[in-house]
Amino acid sequence: MTETALAPSAASRPAPPPPLAMLAELTHRCPLACPYCSNPLELTRKAAELDTTQWTEIFAQAAELGVLQLHLSGGEPLSRRDLEPLVRAARAVDLYVNLITSGIGLTERRLDALEAAGLDHVQLSLQGVDADSADEIGGYRGGFVRKMQAARWLAARGIPLTLNAVMHRRNLDRLEATIALAVEMGARRLEVATVQFHGWASLNRAALMPTRAQSERAAAVVREARARLKGVLAIDYVPADHHADFPKACMGGWGSTGLNVTPDGTVLPCHAAQTLPGLRFERAPATPLGRIWCDSPAFQAYRGTDWMQAPCRTCERKTKDFGGCRCQAMAMTGDPAATDPVCIRSPHREALTARAERDAGGTAALVYREGCG
């Protein structure tokens, strides 16, 4: 058994290894308004969304290309009236189907239909551990109560559940309660993900940036909980970038393991790729997914290691982290091909740390995500 052994180690033109996973942003519509939403600042409107037939075609193209896992995401995927037939279409081509949802919009009848359509797994987002804090972050009164109801419906049916908790300065001190809630809900897995400052979160750095002390404490809490809850709850922890020495391999390496499709069919190497200059992204299903994956210049731009500059170019870690996140490099240095400024070998690391520490001491009010009809 070798985990991620299917992931390639380096770029290999002309035929890159196929992707393992696809994230389908079915819609940007969402009843919530989380200030860290990873959707782009410019949201796609309902009228521009792909229809059922087009998504069905994309799922078939994905399976043919080698995608094994499909993540149905948004916005809120339950905003799509055709979610049930979409799940059925994905299962028909033997994809593993994961639904990423806030739970808002779920009813018992819809859940029964989703289960009958073959839904494999549900990932429920958690905005906070009580109604006051959760509804404040989600910007939606009553959201927490409805989410807890959804969790009970899932548990009653035995549908495998992962709880996805986005952590930031306002809730990181309640990590123990978050873990306890995941156990209480009967979740099998918990993702403790420190907010990534892309999308709407980039407007909320000063409101949400965790402090170093918080991050260090969180790491210790996770370590203790993992040992205590072995075989009960699996915990994945994504710490704050700038409290590490080296960056994470963004998306497992650009164009290597996964791809994102936006509501209008635009195919991206990662969800923030549209913030990078000079890249033109193609649309599925009109342009087949396989052709985009293998041939499109945008997917080749930062695939592998050929595009790297110093210090990545000669670094022994370059096939481990692939130079980190392109979008972060762009945001912090203005150069999308620069070393991720999180890396201690980047000349921008000190500035990044200083800025994060300044933001962590900030007091800004939350800027909520906008709605889109």
Partner 1 sequence: MSLADHHRPRLLRGVRVKRDRVRGVDVLLAPERVLRLDPVGCAILAETDGERSFADIVAALAARFDAPPARIAADARTFLQTLIDRRIAEAR
Q: Is residue 160 involved in binding partner 1 (CB under 8 A)?
A: yes
Nearest to 159 by CA among 94, 110, 126: 110
Spell out the alpha helix ranges (H) of 93-240: 108-117, 131-138, 143-157, 175-184, 205-208, 212-228
Q: Is residue 291 involved in binding partner 1 (CB under 8 A)?
A: no
- Name the one range near partner 1 by CB under 8 A: 105-113, 227-235, 311-319, 326-334: 227-235
**DSSP code at position 293:** H
> What are 237's two structure tokens?
């922890």
**Which one among 13, 45, 188, 358 touches partner 1, defined by CB under 8 A?**
188
Do the annotations mark residue 34 as ligand-binding? yes
Q: Is residue 69 involved in binding partner 1 (CB under 8 A)?
A: yes
Peptide bond into 210 cis (omega under 30): no
Segment 248 to 287, residues that bind ligand SF4, using CB under 6 A = none
User: 308 with 318: CB under 8 angstroms?
Assistant: yes
Segment 107 to 126, residues that bind ligand SF4, using CB under 6 A = 125
Site string for ligand SF4, 38-77 (x = CB under 6 A): -x----------------------------------xxx-
Q: Which entry of partner 1, ligand SF4, none binds 234, CB below 5 to 8 A by partner kind?
A: partner 1
CB of 340 to ligand SF4, least distance (A): 5
Q: Is residue 234 involved in binding partner 1 (CB under 8 A)?
A: yes
User: 114 with 99: CB under 8 angstroms?
Assistant: yes
User: 324 with 343: CB under 8 angstroms?
Assistant: yes
CA 336 to chain centroid: 20
Q: Is residue 317 involved in binding ligand SF4 (CB under 6 A)?
A: yes
Q: What is the sign, positive or negative, of the torsion defined by CA atoms of 56, 58, 61, 62?
A: negative
Q: Is residue 211 involved in binding partner 1 (CB under 8 A)?
A: no
**Which one among 255, 263, 285, 323 touches ligand SF4, defined by CB under 6 A?**
323
Question: Taking CA 109 as the corner, what is the angle to CA 108 and CA 110, rounded to the nearest 5 degrees?
Answer: 95
Q: Is residue 32 involved in binding ligand SF4 (CB under 6 A)?
A: yes
**204 or 339, CB closer to ligand SF4?**
339
**Which one among 241, 282, 321, 359 touches ligand SF4, defined by CB under 6 A?**
321
Can you state the angle between helices 212-228 and 175-184, rounded to 10 degrees?
A: 30
- Name the one range near partner 1 by CB under 8 A: 16-24, 50-58, 263-271, 301-309: 16-24
Site string for ligand SF4, 350-369 (x = CB under 6 A): -------------------x
**200 or 237, CB closer to ligand SF4?**
200
Q: Is residue 238 involved in binding partner 1 (CB under 8 A)?
A: no
Question: Taking CA 371 as the corner, what is the angle to CA 90 and CA 59, rounded to the nearest 5 degrees?
Answer: 10
Q: Which long-range contacts (CB under 8 A, 24 or more apart) does 322-325 make?
A: 322/249, 322/250, 322/253, 322/254, 322/256, 323/247, 324/246, 324/247, 324/248, 324/249, 324/250, 325/247, 325/248, 325/250, 325/270
**DSSP code at position 219:** H
Give the H/E segment covering residue 69.
strand 69-73
Q: Is 120 exposed, middle or buried (0-12, 13-18, 19+ CB in 10 A)?
A: middle
**Which one among 52, 82, 92, 96 touches partner 1, defined by CB under 8 A?**
96
Q: Which entry of ligand SF4, partner 1, none binds 39, CB below 5 to 8 A by partner kind?
A: ligand SF4
**Which one among 162, 196, 211, 328 touches partner 1, defined by CB under 8 A?**
162
Show Cβ contacts of residue 2 under 8 Å, excluding neighbours closer than 6 positions.
none
Q: Is residue 193 involved in binding partner 1 (CB under 8 A)?
A: no
Q: What residues are designated binding site? A: 30, 34, 37
Annotated binding site for [4Fe-4S] cluster: 30, 34, 37
List contacts with ligand SF4 (CB under 6 A). Answer: 30, 32-34, 37, 39, 74-76, 102, 125, 246-247, 311-312, 315, 317-318, 321, 323-324, 339-340, 343, 345, 369
